[in-house]
Amino acid sequence: MCMQKRITEILSSREPRRIQDERLTPAAVLFLVFEKEAECQVLLTRRSENVAYHKGEVSFPGGTIDPDDSNLLHTALREGAEEIGVDPRDVTILGRLDDIFTVTTGFVITPYVGRIPYPYDFQINAEEISELIILPLRALAEDCDVETSKVIWEGKNLKAYHFYIRGHIIWGATARILKQFLDLIYKE
């Protein structure tokens, strides 16, 4: 079950940190996991060059809250449906991670961890997404080159991560979300 029980237990045992800052635009993403070839996989996307922000970057499916969204979970599920064709009824929400902010574009992102069945008939919206990226969770935790650097934002030193795996570079808010998840799940 793709570590579903473990992930759910860990995420439900903690209170996710929320960022309340009116200068930041609320957004949400889906951190999707599924089992493929008896291994837990993580689904990421590469944003197209047509989107307004974060062109060509590796990211989780997601985006900013719309006026019709009832809450940020609805935003994450709606964006997952729009970007990669994942039906919200097929997503089992396992929990939530801490809010993460983007340094350069002014978003506060709420990440929701969800499980989907696999195989799945993804329907990629080419206007927003140029590539679907599927990576083994264990490889991200154990076999991935990770570099850290410092970024100064509003006078504070922040740690930045860069994951290098299978020809992909994962950085920015996506890397911070991924790092938090891996630290929680593999902390032992």
pLDDT in tens, 34-77: 999 889 999 999 999 897 666 689 999 999 999 999 999 999 99
Cis, peptide link before residue 61, omega less than 30° from 0? no
**pTM (two decimals):** 0.94
**Structural fold of domain 4-137:** Nucleoside Triphosphate Pyrophosphohydrolase (3.90.79)
123-140: per-residue pLDDT in tens? 999 999 999 999 999 999
Cβ distance 158 to 74 under 8 Å? no
Cβ distance 176 to 100 under 8 Å? yes
